[in-house]
Chain A
Amino acid sequence: DAGVTQSPTHLIKTRGQHVTLRCSPISGHKSVSWYQQVLGQGPQFIFQYYEKEERGRGNFPDRFSARQFPNYSSELNVNALLLGDSALYLCASSYRDRPTDTQYFGPGTRLTVL
């Protein structure tokens, strides 16, 4: 079975630009979460979606937005990029939105903002 997939693998943008990151969950999983991992730190929660509804949002500015599609895939959008947005962006999927369900992470998208 395919795991969580993310695209693109790497991305280089300049300040002020916009970026869209994509995530496909494990087949049958309905919950997708997004995390930002700055070098040397643990991942920080950005969003959780379940059944196409936003279930949680971390302490990130409104420049960050996301959505989940009917096939449960998800997009993370970041507007007006800043140098500090450079990070590894991780997507995680789980069967439901319950803490009893293991979170499975994708390989991440490495975003570099110049």
Chain B
Amino acid sequence: KQEVTQIPAALSVPEGENLVLNCSFTDSAIYNLQWFRQDPGKGLTSLLLIQSSQREQTSGRLNASLDKSSGRSTLYIAASQPGDSATYLCAVWSGSSNTGKLIFGQGTTLQVKP
């Protein structure tokens, strides 16, 4: 059974700091891994999607890496800003090539202080 874990559960950093969020999964047979952002009481915004054949994806100040063999992914946020404060969720696609589901971690709640 696939399980996804995110550490730490919460993180508080001063503005401008570079930071890393961690995600681990127990079954390396994944199709992809996706990072999401969730603001309080809101839906999920997709940040980055890494296919199983890829090692990393970049979007602006965000960089996500994937190491399937070790069951780990990291989300790197450069030069953090107060507007980055949110909960960050990682999810892996579990199933087959035409039916499946996202299995989510519990999220890391990030606070960036001005």
A residues at B contact (CB < 8 Å): 4, 6, 33, 35, 40-45, 48, 50, 55-56, 58, 88, 90, 92, 97-100, 102-108, 110
Contacts and interface: CB of A to CB of B under 8 A. Distances in A.
Interface of B: 4, 31-32, 34, 36, 41-46, 49, 51, 89, 91, 93, 95, 97-107
A43 B99 contact: no
A58 B99 CA distance: 12
| Interface of chain B: mostly helix, strand, loop or mixed | strand
Contact of A99 (B32, B44, B106): B32
A40 B109 CA distance: 10
B43 A107 contact: yes
Contact of A102 (B31, B49, B99): B49
7 contacts: A35-B102, A42-B4, A42-B104, A42-B106, A43-B91, A56-B100, A90-B44
Contacts, number: 72
Contacts of B103: 45
A106 B43 contact: yes
A99 B107 CA distance: 21
Contacts of A104: 46
A22 to B, nearest CB: 15
A58 B107 CA distance: 20
A43 B97 contact: no
Nearest to B95: A56
B31 A99 contact: yes
